[in-house]
Structure 1
Amino acid sequence: MKQLGLKLWVIVMCVGLFTNNVAAFFLEGSISFHIDPNPSADFYFPVYPLMEASAFELAGHALMFAAFTFLLYKNISRLTLTFGISILYAIITELLQPFFGRGADWYDLAADFIGISGVLFFFLIEKNMAGVQKDTSKTH
């Protein structure tokens, strides 16, 4: 059942990351794809002020990748492998976005990283707390 949740979430993420209009997808449920086999280099990691970045999109990236990382960790239970797969997935999806009329963006990648790291930080704390509890129970 855990794998089903992860697979469904990956599908939702792909729709959200590759649909032409993210706001229309989340607010109206409208999905539309446009495939550009030769995206312009201008779509790859432009540099612009952070204040011009969409807070809605950045929050969406962080939350989508936090949920993905959570579900992935629940399936494989290895922090480093979960981190590696999550980061690789974030990079790959960002590099693919220009083929769907969207831009590959440093800020989106940073938001993905924040979502991934936040979840793994809590799993790391949980893992360490479980180890501390084991150690204290052995000494009593």
Structure 2
Amino acid sequence: MVQRQIETRVKRKTVILVLAIIFWGLFLLLNTWTESIEKLMYLHTFGFKWVSNPDFLSFFYFNDFTAFHPEFIKVKLGHFVGFAVLDFLLFNLIKSHKYAIGISFVFAFITEFVQLFFGRDGRFYDLAIDSLGILSVYFVIKILKA
């Protein structure tokens, strides 16, 4: 009887984590696909614009890094926190830092690269910020377990 209750709790926790990961991933993708992050944040609207032949070299542009817009810090913090949350959820599901970091990093790369096809500016430095969020979860968990 007790064993069955434990198994039920574990299954319930697993289902909740899987659903949380799916919803969080969809949330990150919505932010990736929307044409204007500012319209999403303030007007709560999103639109899609497909670019069939994006400038792939723009992924490596750093010249816009110096052109801070009013929401720059908020958007970059969103990158950091968004992928930190994803990594934390994945780690709690699979209990492996290596795999959670790997999956989170691949997802971060895909979201940045795919932005080029949606009229957005996917950037390598955004991938670096995403990665810092991912790795921060690893170090915080290591420190807390020590």
What TM-score comes out, normalization by structure 2 length? 0.80
**1:27: Cα distance to partner?**
2.1
In percent, how many aligned pairs have the same letter? Answer: 30
Whether the aligned pair in 2 keeps the contact of 1:19 and 1:33 (CA below 8 Å) is: yes
Partner of 1:30, secondary structure, is: coil
Alignment of 1:112-131 (within 5 A): 112-127=130-145, 129=146
Alignment of 1:4-83 (within 5 A): 4-41=19-56, 43-48=58-63, 50-53=65-68, 54-83=72-101
What TM-score comes out, normalization by structure 1 length? 0.83
Cα distance between partner residues in 2 of 1:49 and 1:37: 23
What is the count of residue pairs matched by the alignment? 128
- 1:86 paired with 2:104, answer yes
Per mean C-alpha deviation after superposition, the further-off stretch among 49-58 and 65-74 is: 49-58
Question: Residues 11-39 of structure 1: CA distance to partner in whole angstroms, max 9, x if unpaired?
Answer: 00000112111111122211111111211
**CA RMSD after TM alignment:** 1.6
**1:49: Cα distance to partner?**
6.1
**1:59: Cα distance to partner?**
0.9
Classify 1:18/1:43 alpha carbon distance in 2 versus 1 (closer, same or farther; 3 Å).
Answer: farther
Moved over 6 A (4+): none
Unmatched segments (≥5 aa) in structure 1: 130-140
